[in-house]
């Protein structure tokens, strides 16, 4: 299948086409992240699962577009862009900010009659758990130090002043989106939900992670792996296995 619909082409990247895969896994990046963060996962899951990665504006091949600073502003166009891909079961995977965007997309798809077959949340507290975040209202040095402390970014990036200058607007917009998100109460999802977290993640407490359970009426799994906020970079095999195990046999929306 080749999707040439303009919104799909703008928002969705497919690195490893898998025409015989019964399920597509849509991956949502973290704050400051991009679609290519999931290239390794696409390679690991193909050909059994076809990975689609979301590309937010303001970075990589969309660097000339203004970034979007709200979760709703990201989720709404992504949900629309995914409709042409819904001829197979859609599972969603989000890391950090991406978990919240994925959750809101899952709710939108459900409301449109294309409920996802599974949701994987990673490195983010449950939507219903509110907490103050510093958002984008900090100086550049503080923002960059925070990024460095969490890991997940090649340290050499921070030594390139021009690259940092180009990346900062998107990073600030992403952090603002995370900080200003407010959960809208509604019925839980009807698909299985898996929460993955790093044992030493300073951003997500065990209670924050467990609270995801209230957002599904189906099966819930909580997986804690060694590592910090970007545990999934070090625990790639375990993450791949968790996804594969839970997608086996899931081919239709729930």
User: Which residues are part of the catalytic machinery?
Assistant: 96, 229
Q: How far apart are CA 108 and CA 169, in angstroms?
A: 27
12 DSSP β-pair partners: 54
Q: Residue 171: enclosing H or E segment and its boundaries?
A: helix 161-180
Residue-wise burial string across 148-159, b where 16 or more C-beta atoms lie within 10 A, e elsewhere = eebebbeeeeee
- Counting every residue written for the chain, the total comes to 254
Cβ atoms of residues 47 and 15 within 8 Å: no
Q: How far is 228 from 246, CA to CA, in rounded Å? A: 23
State the Cα–Cα distance between residues 254 and 251, nearest whole angstrom. 9
**DSSP label of 193:** E
Tell me how far CA of residue 7 lies from CA of 50, 78, 112, 139, in angstroms. Answer: 19, 8, 17, 34
């Amino acid at each position: 299948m080749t999707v040439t619909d303009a919104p799909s082409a703008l928002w969705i990247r497919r690195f490893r086409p898998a025409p015989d895969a019964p399920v597509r896994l849509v991956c949502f990046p973290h704050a400051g992240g991009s679609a290519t963060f999931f290239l390794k996962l696409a390679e690991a899951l193909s050909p059994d699962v076809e990975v689609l990665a979301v590309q937010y504006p303001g970075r990589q091949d969309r660097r000339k577009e203004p970034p979007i600073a709200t979760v709703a502003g990201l989720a709404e166009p992504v949900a629309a862009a995914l409709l042409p891909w819904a001829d197979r079961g859609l599972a969603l995977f989000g890391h950090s900010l991406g978990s919240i965007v994925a959750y809101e997309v899952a709710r939108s798809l459900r409301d449109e009659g294309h409920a996802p077959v599974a949701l994987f949340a990673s490195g983010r507290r449950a939507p219903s758990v509110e907490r103050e975040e510093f958002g984008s209202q900090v100086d550049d040095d503080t923002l960059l130090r925070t990024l460095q402390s969490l890991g997940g970014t090649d340290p050499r990036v921070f030594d390139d002043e021009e690259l940092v200058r180009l990346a900062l607007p998107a990073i600030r917009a992403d952090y603002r989106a995370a900080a200003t998100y407010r959960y809208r109460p509604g019925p839980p999802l009807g698909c299985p939900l898996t929460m993955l977290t790093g044992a030493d993640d300073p951003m997500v407490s065990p209670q924050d992670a467990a609270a995801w359970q209230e957002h599904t009426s189906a099966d819930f799994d909580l997986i804690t792996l060694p590592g910090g906020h970007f545990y999934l970079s070090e625990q790639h095999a375990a993450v791949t296995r968790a996804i594969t195990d839970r997608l086996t046999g899931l081919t239709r929306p729930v």
